[in-house]
């Protein structure tokens, strides 16, 4: 009898705004993280790297992307693997929203909702972050948020509409 292990699909957000070295600018850090994530599972899709403005006090622009990864790892094990990759790429946890070499977040997973002491899926803030929704829309536009029931495309459209500058009248 052949035993198969379940594969989970994860939507991950990646970001970097601090180079590791002159040869490792943020865009390359994101691509390198994607390669390392391939050791945790099969990278099925990667969004183009976007350059975005930072949240919070950091002044450096971010390189952001999103990945779809199929893996046999359950959420807590995936999180542990991603934290190891962040550390390997020079992540140091100092200041919230400060400059960082690598940030990898689990946004969604095929199991729906996950709540534990160390991990909440879907990511609590992803619905309000265009730097997460835009790359994710490029690779998983129809994936539905298990909380709102809206697709990534719909969430992105709502956010764009809410943050669009007012049109001049006349």
Domains in the chain (CATH in brackets) are 8-125 (3.30.70.560)
pLDDT surpasses 60 at 161: yes
pLDDT for the residue 62: 85
Within the chain, residue ranges assigned H as helices are 26-37, 75-88, 130-139, 152-163
pLDDT for the residue 2: 47
Give the active site residues: 91, 100, 103, 105
pTM summary value: 0.86
Q: Which of 29-33, 56-60, 82-86, 122-126 has the lowest mean pLDDT?
A: 56-60
What angle do helix axes 26-37 and 75-88 make, rounded to 10 degrees?
140
Tokens of 15: 């970001």
**66-100 confidence digits (pLDDT tens):** 999 999 999 999 999 999 999 888 766 555 555 56
Categorize the per-residue pLDDT at 52 as very low, low, confident or very high, splitting at 50, 70 and 90. confident
Report whether 68 contacts 57 (CB < 8 A): no
pLDDT for the residue 90: 76
CA distance 128 to 39: 30
pLDDT for the residue 38: 96
Categorize the per-residue pLDDT at 26 as very low, low, confident or very high, splitting at 50, 70 and 90. confident
């Amino acid at each position: 009898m052949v035993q198969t292990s379940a594969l989970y699909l994860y939507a991950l957000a990646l970001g970097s705004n601090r180079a590791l070295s002159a040869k490792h600018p943020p865009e390359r850090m994101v691509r390198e993280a994607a390669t390392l994530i391939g050791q945790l599972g099969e990278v099925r899709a990667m969004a183009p790297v976007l350059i975005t403005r930072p949240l919070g006090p950091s002044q450096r622009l971010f390189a952001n992307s999103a990945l779809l990864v199929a893996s046999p790892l359950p959420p807590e094990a995936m999180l542990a693997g991603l934290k190891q990759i962040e550390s390997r790429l020079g992540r140091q946890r100092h200041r919230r929203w400060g400059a960082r070499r690598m940030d990898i977040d689990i946004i969604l997973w095929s199991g729906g909702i996950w709540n534990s002491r160390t991990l909440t899926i879907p990511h609590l803030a992803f619905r309000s972050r265009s730097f997460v929704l835009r790359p994710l829309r490029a690779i998983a536009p129809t994936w539905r948020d298990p909380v709102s029931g809206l697709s990534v495309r719909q969430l992105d459209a709502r956010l764009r509409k809410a943050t669009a500058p007012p049109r001049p009248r006349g």
